[in-house]
Homo-oligomer: A and B are copies of this chain.
Amino acid sequence: MVNTLLLPELREMLSENNGDDLKEFCSAMNAGRTAEFMEGLSDAEAWQVLRHAELPRRAEIFGHFSHQRQVSILSQHDPSEIAELLEEMASDDRVDLLQELSDNRVGEILPLLPLADRRDIQRLYSYPEGTAGSLMTTEVAKLDEKLSVRQAFEALSEQSEQFETIYYLFIVGEHDQLRGVVSARQLVTALRTPDKPLSELVQTDVVTALTTEYQESVAEKVEKFNLLAIPVVDEARHLVGIITHDDIIDVVRQELNADAQQMAAISPLDNDLLRVGLMTLSWKRGIWLAILFFTALLTAFALRYYESEFTRASWLAWFIPLIISSGGNSGSQSATLVITAMTSGSLKLSNWRLVIGRELLVSVMLGGFVAFFGLVVALLVAPSRTEAFIIPVTLFFVVMSGCICGASLPMMFKKLGLDPALMSNPFVAAIVDILGIFIYLNVARLLTR
C-alpha cells in the first residue's frame, strides 16, 4: 500500500518552494518512515523534497527508497549533488547502485568524488559477485589495541558521528590487523578501570569471513553464531570491512529463491524478474526445457514399444496423463520436502535411512489413497472388473516410486557433492513419467494375461 497521507501537503510545499517545512518534514520522523510517506511522489519530486534534508539525513532517507527509485534519481540529476549523496552512502550500497548506471553516467559522477571514496569503490568493484568482498561495507569502526578504556570511549564518541550503528568493537593492531573484539558490555563494565589497555580486554576468538569466501558460507556462519555483523579479513587477516545482519537476510532470501527456481527447472536468475534480459531469461529456461524435452521423449518411445497393448484396450490410453501426473506430483512433493529440509539445515545426509523409511510409509498411505479414487473411476469405465484393477494397482506403485525417487535423488545429488536443488522437480517428474509408463503397461499385461 502506498502511504498517501501527506502527499497533498508535500506537493503544496514543493510548489510554494517552502524550504523550512520540507526540511522539517525530512527530519521529523525516522528515515524509513519518511521514505514511506514519499512513496506516492514521482522520482523527480522525491528528489526535490530530499534536497532539503541535511546531507547525512538525505543519504539515510535515500537508502530507504526502492531500488528502482534510487537508480532513477542517480541517473538523472546534477552530478555534483549526486556525488555529494554518494559520498555519504554505505560503501557496499553505492557500489551496487553504480553498477546499474550507464558507463557514461558513472564517468560523470566518479571524478567528483574524493580520491579515497573513488579508490574504495574501485576496490569493491574488484571482488567477484557473490563473495564476502562484494557484500561488505568498508565503513567499520576500529579501535587500536594500545588505547586505554578511557581513550577508547573518546575514539568511539568521534567515530560514532560517522557510523550509524556500531555493531561490535573491533580491536586492531598494526596495519589494521584484526586482534579481536571487545563487547560493548565489557567496555561499559571496564569504565571502572579506565586506564586498562584494550589489549587486556580483547577476546581473540572471532568468527571472520575471508574476502573471497562465498556469501552462502558467510550467511551460514552469521546464522550459526547469531552475529550482528561479521568482520571481513584478507589473507593476512587485515580487517577490510564488515557484513551486517541486514545484508545476510538478503543473502538468505536470494539463496532460497535460487533454490525455488532451480526446483522449477530454471537456472537461477542473478537479478529481479523484471530486470533480467529477455534473452537471458529465455536461455535460462530454454536449456532446461530442452533437457526435459529429451527426457520426455523417452516416454514416447516407451509408448510406441507398448503400442500393441493400446490397440487391444484403447481405454488404457485415456489414463496416461492421470497416471503420470500422479507420479510426478507425489515425486515433486517429496523432492521439495527433502530439498528444503536439507538447505535449511534441519536434515543431514546421515539421516537418509530414516528419511527413506518414513517416505516408504507415507508413500504406502498416499498410494493407497489415490488408488482408491482410481478404483472408483476405473470401475465406471473399464470393460471388466479385472481390467479395472489395472488403474488402482498402477497408481499405487506409481505414487510409491514417485515418493521414493523424489526423496532419494536429491540426497544422492548432495552425496555426490552437487546442489540437491539441481535434481529439480520436473526432472524427478520426467524420470517418474517413464517409470510410470513401464509400470502401467506391465501391470496391464499381468492382469489381462
- A326 CB to nearest chain B CB (Å): 6
- A344 CB to nearest chain B CB (Å): 6
Residues of the B chain whose Cβ atoms lie less than 8 Å from the Cβ of A314: 307, 310-311
Convert A364-387 into 0s and 1s, putting 1 for each residue whose CB lies closer than 8 angstroms to a CB of B: 011001100110010001000000
From B164, B252, B303, give the contact of A252 (CB < 8 A).
Answer: B252
Asked whether A246 lies within 8 Å of B260 as measured between CB atoms, the reply is: no
A347 and B269 alpha carbons, distance in the complex (Å) = 14
A429 and B327 alpha carbons, distance in the complex (Å) = 13
Beyond A225-B30, A249-B248, A324-B321, whether A373 also contacts B293 by CB under 8 A is yes
- A62 CB to nearest chain B CB (Å): 13
A313 within 8 A of B: no
Asked whether A185 lies within 8 Å of B160 as measured between CB atoms, the reply is: yes
Asked whether A228 lies within 8 Å of B225 as measured between CB atoms, the reply is: no
A413 within 8 A of B: no
A394 and B253 alpha carbons, distance in the complex (Å) = 37
A116 within 8 A of B: no
A263 within 8 A of B: yes
A324 and B301 alpha carbons, distance in the complex (Å) = 16
Quickly give the copy total for this chain: 2
Asked whether B321 lies within 8 Å of A300 as measured between CB atoms, the reply is: yes
Most chain B beta-carbon contacts within 10 A, residue among A156, A290, A317, A362: A317
A325 and B299 alpha carbons, distance in the complex (Å) = 10
Between A and B, 29 residue pairs with Cβ closer than 8 Å are A28-B205, A32-B225, A160-B184, A160-B189, A184-B184, A223-B249, A245-B249, A249-B249, A252-B252, A253-B256, A260-B339, A264-B332, A273-B340, A274-B341, A286-B365, A286-B366, A289-B330, A289-B333, A289-B370, A293-B373, A297-B322, A300-B319, A303-B321, A311-B314, A317-B317, A325-B433, A328-B328, A328-B426, A332-B425
Interface contacts beyond A263-B264, A289-B330: sample of 8 additional A-B pairs, CB < 8 Å, sorted by A = A248-B249, A285-B362, A289-B369, A290-B370, A296-B321, A296-B326, A311-B314, A321-B321
